A and B are shown apart, each in its own frame.
Chain A
Amino acid sequence: MNARGHLSSETIDLLLLSALTAPETNDAKQHLDGCEDCRTRWRELNEDKQRFEQFVFARTLPKVEARVAAERGGFFSRFKLKFLVPAMVLAAAAAGVVFTTGPGTQTEDDAYVGIKGQPTFELFAKRGQSGVFPVGPEVALHPGDRIGFMVNPAGSKYLLVASQDGAGVFSVYHPFGAQVSQPLADVKAKLELPGSVELDATLGSERVVAVFSEEPLKAGEIEAALKASTQNPKLPGARFVVREFHKVAP
């Protein structure tokens, strides 16, 4: 219940999703019993659920799937990614990547998300001849999958993407093998980084980090910061966005 004596939309939506804890569910149901306003909203939401599931879902799902497929298919082609230079395959072999955890990056259609000032870092993967899909916590990647990167520098001028695997091996993915971060072509737009990494046969987890800065930073300094703390690396002038990955056998 909020300070104004009603259930918030969030609480009502979570109740419908059965995502509240048992005590929260009891509290919410108890409130619904005694509050006409909230009961009305709960009833409306359930009516919308029925309407959505009976009519809207079936009518719109094909369009949604087509849109999603088109957007994913366009990811790698837009970047003109040239999958795998042999050297990158070897580097990835030394790294072993795969699936992300943690809260989602703050990208997306920026006009609707409305965030400014936060650099973002997203990963996408491509498996065989199938389409491109975003790498999320529930997605396990396989050896041979290829991963690509998308960033929004939010004004930062320099970028370096690196990884540190479970054994602590540090590799620079972008610019591949660089000793220092490189200037970005456009500091205000979302960028799809050229190139991609093909995952090797090593299974396990590792972290990939995008390091944004106003001045060029040395890869060695970034490596030291990651070794000091992979969860919360710190380096003067650097803004880190960390992703964790796991790779499993198909």
Chain B
Amino acid sequence: MSESGVHTSERVSTLYRKFGTAIYSRCRRLLKDDALAEDATQEVFVRVLRHIQSAPDDATALAWIYRISTNYCLNQIRDRSRQAEPTAPDEMPEGDGGEVNSEGEMMDRNTAMKLIARAPEKLQEVAVLYYVDGLEQEQVAKTLGISRRTVINRLQEFVERSRKFISRDEV
């Protein structure tokens, strides 16, 4: 390997060691499967590498990691759900775990993920960043490159859909 090749390889290794945990942990949390999370970590890292190499700070690098890993994992979840058997009613989220309070906040991250998996694609990444990651609306907007108004609208739509879903399930 040339000197430059060694240099590049070392840099990739250093960045992978540094940011790999954030990617792996996130994929593990979203996919809930260790083997899938391991595969996803490699895929996401290769896709995000260019961005974290040129990111001016770790916060910017993390924003790219959140954005790309969220989209990647949501795609994986969608692919899995297309192949899966339809969910039986008793596997639907329980109303008490998925309650939306008066401020429209989902109180349980696992339940939020179940609801997110059933939401339309355009609402999913916003809901993950807000409810699962606990980012502020402004941070979600910055991470996804959309306006805060769009974030608010999508969160409202997600909450309304979730309320209907939960109440229907309770019936």
Contact = CB atoms under 8 A, between A and B. Distances in A.
Interface of A: 2-4, 6-10, 13-14, 16-17, 19, 44-45, 48-49, 51-53, 56-57, 59-61, 63-65, 67-69, 71-72, 100-109, 111-115, 118, 122, 127-131, 133-134, 136-139
B86 interface: no
B78 to A, nearest CB: 12
Nearest to A50: B21
B9 A65 contact: yes
B110 interface: no
B102 to A, nearest CB: 13
B56 A137 contact: yes
Contacts, number: 162
Interface in B46-84: 46-60, 62-64, 66-68, 71-72, 75
Interface in B114-171: 125, 132-136, 139, 144-145
Contacts of B125: 114
Contacts of B105: 4
Contact of A133 (B8, B24, B67, B145): B8
Nearest to A17: B58
B24 to A, nearest CB: 5
A108 B50 contact: yes
Given A2-B135, A59-B38, A114 B71 contact: yes
Given A13-B22, A19-B58, A122 B50 contact: yes
Given A53-B21, A130-B4, A130-B8, A104 B50 contact: yes
B12 interface: yes
Interface string B1-30: 011110011011100111011101110110
Interface of B: 2-5, 8-9, 11-13, 16-18, 20-22, 24-26, 28-29, 38, 41-42, 44-60, 62-64, 66-68, 71-72, 75, 105, 125, 132-136, 139, 144-145
Contact of A113 (B8, B26, B60, B71): B71
B50 to A, nearest CB: 5
Given A10-B135, A112-B71, A134 B50 contact: yes
B145 A115 contact: yes
Contact of A8 (B38, B46, B135): B135
Closest 9 CB pairs of A and B: A104-B54, A48-B25, A9-B133, A130-B4, A136-B53, A19-B58, A136-B54, A8-B134, A112-B71
Nearest to A118: B145
A59 B21 CA distance: 14
Contacts of A111: 71, 75
Contact of A49 (B2, B21, B42, B44): B21
A58 B10 CA distance: 14
